[in-house]
Amino acid sequence: MKKTIDIIRSVITWLLLIFSVGIMLFTFISVATLNQNSRSIFGYKAFIVLSDSMKATDFEAGDVVVVKEVNPATLKEGDIITFISRNSASYGETVTHKIRRLTTTAEGEPGFVTYGTTTDTDDLTVVDYYNVEGKYQFRLPKVGNFFSFLKTVPGYICCILIPFLLFIAMQAVNTVKAFRNYKKEQADAIQAEKDELAAEKKRTEAMQAEIEALKAQINSSAATGKESKEETEEDSETDREEDIKEDSE
């Protein structure tokens, strides 16, 4: 059971780390490229859709559209393009609309008449080649909403700060747990060494006791032998004295 809990904790920790790093990379890429007209990755650009002018057919507000840089001369009717608007109401904004037909500007430069499919109304200004950012390739549904949320303080807290704090907290718990295990192992090792020393002391004391007992036994045997020898010598002396006495009589 404990092993299973440790595995689950480890998996959650790594998932939090991967999620946090992924969100950070995601944020970095979005900040560096999303809605950046001057930046592209391998010729591709990404833009957040801000209106529903193309909702009827292709994409809607909150989506991210990915466009590819192309030669404007290759574009034709029906293509969807992203361009810098020159309309007075939206001047300088990035717009993605469909080409209705090819035309020329007031200066005689080639351009396009564009429109939003939701209203089916032509844009007021002709889009010249210079303002074309790229040709629409595909969309990422609602990803723009996530990017927009991610750039807010609550989005940063929820998607980046909290996962990192959880990861750091779990790593801190694991570190404290490892330190406690290390201290316990050290204490167990010291206690085992003390027990070994105590057992060795007992064995030494027992051996000394055996040696003392053996010495006492040897001394006792030696004393007994000496007494026996003295008694034998006394008996022999007595016998000699009796023999002398008998001979004298």
Chain segment 102-141, per-residue pLDDT in tens: 999 988 999 999 999 999 999 999 999 999 999 999 999 9
What whole-number distance in Å separates Cα of residue 169 and Cα of residue 189? Answer: 30
pLDDT for 49 beyond 70: yes
**CATH top class, domain 34-151:** mainly beta
* 1 CB-side CA count, 13 A: 0
Mean pLDDT, range 40-69, rounded to an integer? 90
pLDDT at 154: 86
pLDDT at 231: 61
* 171 CB-side CA count, 13 A: 10
Q: Token pair 């810098």 is at which residue?
A: 84
Instruction: Grade residue 72 by pLDDT with cuts at 50, 70 and 90.
Output: very high
User: Which of 106-115, 117-126, 166-175, 192-201 has the lowest average pLDDT?
Assistant: 166-175
Contacts of 136-139 with C-beta under 8 Å, sequence gap 24+, read 136/58, 136/65, 136/66, 136/67, 136/79, 136/80, 136/81, 136/82, 136/96, 137/44, 137/66, 137/67, 137/68, 138/65, 138/66, 139/49, 139/58, 139/59, 139/63, 139/64, 139/65, 139/66
